[in-house]
Structure 1
Amino acid sequence: MELYQLKTFAAVAETGHLTRAADRLHISQPAVSAQIKALEEELEVRLFERGPGGMALTRAGTRLLEQAAKVLATAEELRNAAKALKGEIAGRLRIGTVGAPEFIRLGEFSSRAVDRFPLLELEFHAEVSGAALEAVRSGTLDASFYVGDLVHPNVVGVGLREMTFHVVAPAAWADRVRQADWPTLAAMPWILMPPISTHSQLARAMFREEGVEPTHVIEADQESLIANLVVSGVGVSLLPDPLALDMQAAGRVCISEKTVMSATLWFIYLRERANDPLIKGIVELIRSLWNPEKSAAAASRVA
């Protein structure tokens, strides 16, 4: 099999469509179809189910995609190492983002990366934290910002800052929320991110600790959407500082006095890629931007 076939396999899996994959790869749709067919014949397994809605991975395809991603990552690392021998940091990095761009200083990060590594191409993908962690583990992302605990030994990271989360509610609910006990809070509608997210896991850990369960949960996958729903009077949620405090100061939300929760913001990557010139260069840039060595709250988990 050829690397280009694996790239096509990954592109079709991510986009779910032959045409979209062809656009991404800058080749024709028939070429994409032929490459997938040839790969399936060589592997002697069906990778996709074809349907009117697009291409869906089979169970075998899902398992083999992870292996394909590792092969592609290894090939990319080899190319990057060769370029590093010539004194260049060049290639493409797929980086996951979480939360608001300004919160993770994405603009500053991008600007410094362009200045320091002019041959480096950056590709950003918005994720919820849990999905970002899984994407780094599988090789779908090269690195990512991430909020939560690092529980997988093959994923390491640079601690950037501690985040504080508050229980927030519509401003009009202030009298009901500020001193409300936990059964009262749990009875209100809650707006949470998908279960894989750190946001949802923090909230549900809080519920377990207090011995309650929310009776009505509304799912939203973006922090900005959650903030808008809270302001609009839909329900209660968790929001981080400084967003929660800024919104309260503006009279848009109220904050419960019951609970403050914390989690760490990380920049994560695979342990096995720590010496990849691209990863090494971008991690050094992250360190210089956030200056975590001088922050008492930040730490690098490399052991």
Structure 2
Amino acid sequence: MEFHHLRTFVAVAEEGNLSRAAERLNLSLPAVSAHVKSLEEELGVSLFNRSARGMEPTGAARRLCETARDALSRAQDLFAQARSLRGEAAGDIVLSRNTDPEFLRLPRMLAVLGREHPRSLVHVDCCDSYNVAQTLKAGRVHAGFAYGCFDDEPQLTALPLGMACVRVVGPPAWRERLEQAAVSDLAAMPWVWFHERCPFVLMARDLLAEEGTPPRTAAVINDEDTIRSLVASGMGLSLLREDMARPDNPGRELAVWPGGALGIPINLVALTKRLHEPEVKAALDAAAEAWGLDRAARAASEGTVRGNAPDTAPEAGGEACGA
């Protein structure tokens, strides 16, 4: 019995049509028909009744289809385990990023993946930190960059990359006002706020908690570039990465409150149950190398570390987190 015969059988049963099954499998129509006929001869049962509506599975086919699906799934598990034993990532590696690639050291990470896994193809999508867990659980990505803590997510393993520096920022015209401001003054000013599940919300609330009243919200934004633009235009205060508040281009600096910096962990997160997969392991190892993690910190890529960044993790050195 051939593996591809089972795959064709399941496709025809699910599609109910030879043409659609052929398109799904990227095969010719005669090839699909030949696979079905060969499997029927080998099994000694009729699998489909041909009608005007298409290919109707027989009673025997309906019972056998579940077994065929299970056999295909087990075969795929076998191939995945074999790739893991070889340490080879030969397929797509899908990542998500929550901020700009330079800050996340993606160019360095992709260079490592290209060197160590030349047969893999890396895809990078955008995903906010608060959606990374959902995206991972849905199986849409192998690993995702995110800010915050994951101690309450037992299904996830976070590789701590560092601690980001975040500052309270305001319009350039408010510089003198901010230099003299106490926390009570910050609470009285308008704020460019964040999506409710953004990790910055908790940071801002903790900072302003002693005032007892929520800040006056001028806008709710989940994009750091937009936040920066609105703050620069005079709309209000916000939290931003320190490098975005003090960019390399002179004249574009925002006013920074001197009362102190806030820290938030930077992680590359993956599903714990998928850590053995070569694509996931390759992504975590490449991120660890790109961020210069020592051996203890890199143990997270084997699923032994979960949650916040350890004391040994590098600081972002002015490269802090986004929304």
Q: TM-score, normalised by structure 1?
A: 0.68
Give the letter aligned to residue 280 of structure 1.
Answer: K
Matched, 1:114 2:114: yes
**Whole-Å Cα distance in 2 between the matches of residues 233 and 129 of structure 1?**
27
Native 8 Å contact 1:189 1:216 kept in 2: yes
Deviation at 1:83, TM superposition (A): 3.5
**1:63 counterpart residue number:** none
Deviation at 1:84, TM superposition (A): 4.2
Native 8 Å contact 2:245 2:253 kept in 1: no
Native 8 Å contact 1:156 1:268 kept in 2: yes
**Whole-Å Cα distance in 1 between the matches of residues 166 and 25 of structure 2?**
43
Instruction: Compute the RMSD of aligned alpha carbons.
Output: 3.3
Deviation at 1:78, TM superposition (A): 5.4
Native 8 Å contact 1:91 1:119 kept in 2: yes
Render the CA deviation track for 1:105-126: whole Å, top value 9, x for unaligned.
1122223222321221222121
SS in structure 2 opposite 1:229? helix
TM-aligned CA distance change 1:83 to 1:187, over 3 Å: same
Matched, 1:123 2:123: yes
TM-aligned CA distance change 1:103 to 1:87, over 3 Å: closer
Give the letter aligned to residue 302 of structure 1.
Answer: V
**Whole-Å Cα distance in 2 between the matches of residues 182 and 80 of structure 1?**
54
Q: How does 1:43-122 map to 2 (within 5 A)?
A: 79-84=79-84, 88-122=88-122
SS in structure 2 opposite 1:242? helix
Q: What are structure 1's unaligned runs of at least 5 residues?
A: 6-24, 28-72
TM-aligned CA distance change 1:249 to 1:204, over 3 Å: farther
Give the letter aligned to residue 106 of structure 1.
Answer: L
Deviation at 1:232, TM superposition (A): 1.9
Render the CA deviation track for 1:173-231: whole Å, top value 9, x for unaligned.
11222222233322322123311111223222322255341112412221112112212
Question: Comparing 229-238 with 207-216, which one deviates more in the overlay?
Answer: 207-216
TM-aligned CA distance change 1:284 to 1:203, over 3 Å: same
TM-aligned CA distance change 1:74 to 1:244, over 3 Å: farther
Deviation at 1:163, TM superposition (A): 0.7
SS in structure 1 opposite 2:282? helix
Deviation at 1:132, TM superposition (A): 1.5
Deviation at 1:278, TM superposition (A): 1.4
**Whole-Å Cα distance in 2 between the matches of residues 209 and 78 of structure 1?**
56
TM-aligned CA distance change 1:278 to 1:74, over 3 Å: farther
Q: TM-score, normalised by structure 2?
A: 0.64
Native 8 Å contact 2:143 2:283 kept in 1: no
Q: How does 1:239-278 map to 2 (within 5 A)?
A: 239-246=240-247, 250=251, 252-278=253-279
**1:201 counterpart residue number:** 202
Deviation at 1:82, TM superposition (A): 3.6
Give the letter aligned to residue 212 of structure 2.
Answer: G
Native 8 Å contact 1:80 1:278 kept in 2: no
Give the letter aligned to residue 179 of structure 1.
Answer: Q
SS in structure 1 opposite 2:208? helix
SS in structure 1 opposite 2:165? strand
Native 8 Å contact 1:77 1:276 kept in 2: no
**1:282 counterpart residue number:** 283
**1:154 counterpart residue number:** 155
**Whole-Å Cα distance in 1 between the matches of residues 220 and 282 of structure 2?**
37
Native 8 Å contact 1:165 1:261 kept in 2: yes
**Whole-Å Cα distance in 2 between the matches of residues 77 and 112 of structure 1?**
26
SS in structure 2 opposite 1:175? helix
SS in structure 2 opposite 1:258? coil
Question: Comparing 157-166 with 193-202, which one deviates more in the overlay?
Answer: 193-202
Native 8 Å contact 1:179 1:258 kept in 2: no
Native 8 Å contact 1:168 1:256 kept in 2: yes
**1:34 counterpart residue number:** none
Native 8 Å contact 1:187 1:216 kept in 2: no
**Whole-Å Cα distance in 1 between the matches of residues 77 and 105 of structure 2?**
26
Native 8 Å contact 2:194 2:200 kept in 1: yes
Deviation at 1:242, TM superposition (A): 2.8
SS in structure 2 opposite 1:136? helix
TM-aligned CA distance change 1:78 to 1:190, over 3 Å: farther
Q: Is the radius of gyration larger for structure 1 or structure 2?
A: 2
